[in-house]
């Protein structure tokens, strides 16, 4: 009797202690994370929760969202932008990581590394204004092309649908590759030297070393980085909002700019909640894969 009492006592104590440490985190995360996520789904079934006594409208917000005249453009750009950005981040990140993992002069190496991390220190708003200045019709980019071609070039890099789509992908590539690069660099540095030595003894060439050792060894890191990068790119807001605002003619709209515009430009919070819920569902598909890849202790 006493024994079991003591045991339950100990168990209770342990549970109380555990709660005293994790409780504050759990309560705050409930309030700022779980509750809002539940609410946004609930709001999506009401006309406009910003107004008191808003009526329940079933799926009509979703119907309106899916019949938005610009939805096709939005889906198209979200896909093109995400695939394009992630691919460029991956390619540039891998190239630079491999090149920074060679044994050239140490001082030069640290200079290069410092330069290549640089885009990461700028916040999205700064990236947006800096590139806008470069990309304006009378800006430096056109100026340089003019000098090369020998006549005045006045391309509106953000004003034509197709050009703006490409421009945004390039700007986002510039901005986002450092994360891939540093992750890959850390991954490369943990590949044991002996693998390469053994392969070289067996007569493997340079490209064989890359495709048979480097890539397979990096595979887990690449997968995680791609998933995370896809999630971030899918939901990227400030850069697009500040450079094109989703335009011209909705050509660079994503689910994030759609949601923001519904809510804070049109004040249609029911519709915006439906859009946000759809965005959340799409993101969650990626999240499931991402969380599965993480070892949770």
Partner 1 sequence: MAITAKKSRNSRGSGTGMQPSKLSTYIILTICAVFVLFPVAWMLSVSLRPNNQVFSYPASFIPQEFTLEAYVNVLTSNRYMTYFLNSYIIGIVVTIVSTIIGVMGGYGLSRYKFRGKTSFSLFVVATQTIPRISLLIPFFILMTRLNLYNTRGGLILAYTSFALPYAILMMQGYFNGISTELDEAAIIDGLSRFKTLWKIIVPVTIPAILSTMIYTFILSWNEFIFVMALIQDDALRTIPVGIAMMKGETTYQWNMMMSMSLLGTVPVLVFYLFGQKYFVSGLSDGSVKG
Q: How far is the CB of 251 from partner 1 (least distance, A)?
A: 20
Q: How many CA atoms lie within 13 A of 55 on its CB side?
A: 2
**Quick check: 249 and 163 in contact, CB under 8 A?**
no
The residue (of 80 and 170) whose beta carbon lies closer to partner 1 is 170
The residue (of 2 and 102) whose beta carbon lies closer to partner 1 is 102
Q: How far is the CB of 253 from partner 1 (least distance, A)?
A: 13
The residue (of 73 and 290) whose beta carbon lies closer to partner 1 is 290
Helix axes 215-234, 71-100, angle to 10 degrees: 140
Residues making up the chain, counted from first to last:
297
Q: Record the tokens describing residue 113, joined without a space.
A: 């590394």
Cα separation, 283 vs 75, whole angstroms: 14
The residue (of 2 and 149) whose beta carbon lies closer to partner 1 is 149
Q: How far is the CB of 98 from partner 1 (least distance, A)?
A: 8
Q: How far is the CB of 128 from partner 1 (least distance, A)?
A: 7
Q: How many CA atoms lie within 13 A of 72 on its CB side?
A: 1
Q: How far is the CB of 176 from partner 1 (least distance, A)?
A: 12
The residue (of 163 and 170) whose beta carbon lies closer to partner 1 is 170
Cα separation, 170 vs 60, whole angstroms: 37
The residue (of 250 and 273) whose beta carbon lies closer to partner 1 is 273
Say whether 168 sits in a helix, a strand or coil: helix
Q: How far is the CB of 249 from partner 1 (least distance, A)?
A: 21
DSSP labels for 212-267?
Answer: IIIHHHHHHHHHHHHHHHHHHHHT--HHHHHHTTT-STTTT--HHHHHHHHHHTS-
């Amino acid at each position: 009797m006493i024994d079991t009492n003591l045991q339950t006592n100990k168990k209770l104590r342990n549970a109380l202690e555990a709660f005293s440490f994790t409780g504050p985190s759990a309560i705050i995360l409930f309030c700022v994370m779980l509750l809002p996520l539940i609410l946004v789904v609930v709001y999506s079934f009401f006309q406009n929760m910003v107004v008191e006594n808003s009526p329940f409208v079933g799926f009509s917000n979703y119907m309106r969202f899916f019949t938005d005249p610009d939805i096709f453009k939005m889906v198209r750009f979200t896909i093109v932008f995400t695939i394009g950005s992630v691919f460029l981040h991956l390619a540039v990140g891998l190239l630079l990581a491999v090149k920074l993992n060679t044994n050239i002069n140490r001082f030069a190496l640290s200079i290069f590394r410092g330069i290549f991390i640089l885009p990461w220190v700028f916040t999205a708003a700064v990236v947006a204004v800096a590139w806008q200045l470069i990309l304006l019709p009378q800006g430096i980019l056109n100026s340089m092309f003019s000098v090369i071609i020998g006549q005045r070039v006045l391309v509106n890099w953000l004003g034509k649908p197709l050009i703006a789509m490409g421009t945004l992908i390039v700007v986002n590539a510039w901005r986002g590759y450092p994360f891939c690069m540093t992750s890959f660099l850390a991954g490369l540095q943990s590949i044991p030297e002996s693998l390469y030595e053994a392969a070289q003894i067996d007569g493997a060439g340079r490209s064989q070393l890359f495709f048979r050792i480097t890539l397979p060894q990096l595979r887990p890191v690449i997968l995680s980085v791609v998933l995370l990068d896809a999630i971030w790119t899918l939901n990227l807001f400030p850069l697009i909002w500040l450079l094109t605002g989703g335009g011209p003619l909705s050509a660079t709209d994503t689910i994030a700019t759609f949601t923001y515009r519904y809510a804070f430009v049109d004040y249609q919070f029911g519709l915006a909640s439906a859009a946000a819920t759809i965005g959340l569902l799409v993101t969650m598909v990626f999240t499931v894969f991402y969380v599965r890849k993480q070892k949770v202790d």
